[in-house]
Structure 1
């Protein structure tokens, strides 16, 4: 009787002659060390940028306190609009607002209050500065936020095409128009739009409101349409000036990338021109544009003081103008800190995004 023979495995092979299964290779120590070094380097980069932002914010607090006290007149006269007051009444007001204390004590109290969110009480409106800012902020975010989104997208789109077709008549036309509009003062352009499209010329009536945010007698969908109608001229003013800056910066940064070897290699591989531009050229030219876009996002909180004043838009820009005209020191200081803080925050976010767009940044 014969017995079935069991298959014999050949060295280097599994059962039945199959090659043995091998475990997936583990990441090498050098690769793991490189990843850890990259993460550590990025965290170090973030810590450095955050420390710089904190120092900048402290400098803003110092500047906002001393600068406006040097430039402005007596706060008591500002509070009373120059009306005659007895010496006792003036001393009472100074004591009430802490103006009778030494300057150093006023500064330390101001810094400690500002860091906790207490920006003081407005001389002009007799209300907390923080409440006034929260009340006016939505109108500013609506106006300038809409404008920033529109002119950033328009400027980026036109700038990439102008650079890609540089030297042609369309590029020369776009660049010439952008240079002209960039040099136009926003308040002058706003007044011109009010005359042409708000007041009207001759028998042609005005098409859009010349000031305010709404007519005040509408609700629901009618109110939304009314606000949009009032936004047309101020948004157009901001877009016309803002898109020109975005176009020129995008065009300049993309032109610097046009002669790079990697673009020639991408074309040699047979990639379509639009694909080369979208996937290779534009991402590597975005750093200056990203900086500008984030700076513009910082201006969303600040609004446009001149544009809001020209169109009587009830936002932070107009509030800042009213505070300067008094001058209302707590309100001016509080708005200055909010504006500068928004800019510092947006610059910090831009710095944190840089290494994600270009790994060479932060090394």
Structure 2
């Protein structure tokens, strides 16, 4: 009697082949996402270069307010800043500088754009990091409670308040916070990141920065936490009808244990991707808050560059801010594929 063991012998090879297919699929997915991100950055570079030159104003006139400035002096400045060439020639030269990691020299500050951005990126990361942490804690906690108490007064109050704050213009909310808490009540500073003249000692300096950080961070948190709340709430509501929760309750777990051990971890999956997507938007969206509170970050730097207009500085900050959005979008896609088996199998 003949028997065959060929299917058994082929299993390891089949598993290896399936592993190679999955690895190739993952590599292709990563390459497509990174390639798409690079194309997006290229479009940002192209649009930023030509868009900023369509702004009203002339950087030459911004520094030659003296009526006695001669034509020769103006032409000398145009040649020094490379503005005497046609736009296509300026763009080609700009691309060449970018390939050498040179963002140019600021018209307004007379410093390398890269140095200006590096000097301002720390305050922006501090502000957006604090706001992101507060928004996550507040949004996820309120979203979980609102979903678990669906239809209750707490649910209506939490969702209604968050949606109202989400729809409020950021600059308006910041101005209200300034007038109430900084001017009327005199509880917080009106502007800046530190007290003029500074304070002595490391701990007093840290507390001074934290004191200045409260109002801008809370303002940014108030207009962003609603997104986390709503996503967490809707995800948890979907999970609450799942059969595995009924099984968990049948095993004797308390309602709180069912929520913490089973429902919330599964509901966090779409929220994780939203966190990555929103982080990039939060960094680029801090312009308004930094301007209202005179917070010395990239947002305020960008605002000051617009009024000049400082083309190299605007182009540099746009690349950094848009790059943050693109990088976080790519990371969101990669993390979602890593966490969700259904995406990997697609």
- Per the TM superposition, whether the score is higher than 0.5 is yes
Equivalent residue, structure 2, for 1:328: 310
C-alpha spacing 1:84/1:305, structure 2 compared with 1 (3 Å): farther
In 1, Cα distance between the equivalents of 2:26 and 2:251? 34
Of the two, which has the highest radius of gyration?
1
Q: Secondary structure in 2 aligned to 1:39? A: helix
Q: Secondary structure in 2 aligned to 1:28? A: helix
C-alpha spacing 1:328/1:174, structure 2 compared with 1 (3 Å): same
Q: 1:59 aligns with which of 29, 39, 43?
A: 43
More helix by share: 2
Please list, as runs of the form range in 1=range in 2, the aligned pairs for 1:12-51 lying within 5 A after superposition.
28-51=12-35
C-alpha spacing 1:79/1:343, structure 2 compared with 1 (3 Å): farther
Q: Secondary structure in 1 aligned to 2:190? A: coil
Equivalent residue, structure 2, for 1:210: 190
Is 1:117 aligned to 2:118, yes or no? Answer: no
Unaligned runs of 5+ in 2: 1-8
Q: Is the 8 A contact 1:79 1:328 kept in 2?
A: no
Equivalent residue, structure 1, for 2:181: 197
C-alpha distance after superposition, 1:112-160 (max 9, x if no partner): 2223321111111111111111111111111111111111122112112
Equivalent residue, structure 2, for 1:289: 271
Equivalent residue, structure 1, for 2:162: 178
| Runs of 4+ that moved beyond 6 A | none
Equivalent residue, structure 2, for 1:361: 343
Q: Is the 8 A contact 2:105 2:112 kept in 1?
A: yes
Q: Is the 8 A contact 2:274 2:332 kept in 1?
A: no
In 2, Cα distance between the equivalents of 1:81 and 1:53? 42
Q: 1:243 aligns with which of 218, 225, 228?
A: 225
In 1, Cα distance between the equivalents of 2:225 and 2:294? 23
In 1, Cα distance between the equivalents of 2:283 and 2:296? 13
Cα deviation, residue 346, structure 1:
0.9
Cα deviation, residue 267, structure 1:
4.2
In 2, Cα distance between the equivalents of 1:347 and 1:39? 22
Please list, as runs of the form range in 1=range in 2, the aligned pairs for 1:72-151 lying within 5 A after superposition.
72-80=56-64, 85-151=69-135
Root-mean-square deviation (Å): 2.3
Q: Is the 8 A contact 1:78 1:328 kept in 2?
A: no
Cα deviation, residue 280, structure 1:
4.0
In 2, Cα distance between the equivalents of 1:339 and 1:74? 24
Q: Is the 8 A contact 1:209 1:230 kept in 2?
A: yes
Q: 2:299 aligns with which of 293, 296, 317?
A: 317
Cα deviation, residue 272, structure 1:
4.2
Q: Is the 8 A contact 1:294 1:350 kept in 2?
A: yes
Q: How many residues align?
A: 335
Question: TM-score, normalization: structure 1?
Answer: 0.85
Q: Is the 8 A contact 1:301 1:342 kept in 2?
A: yes
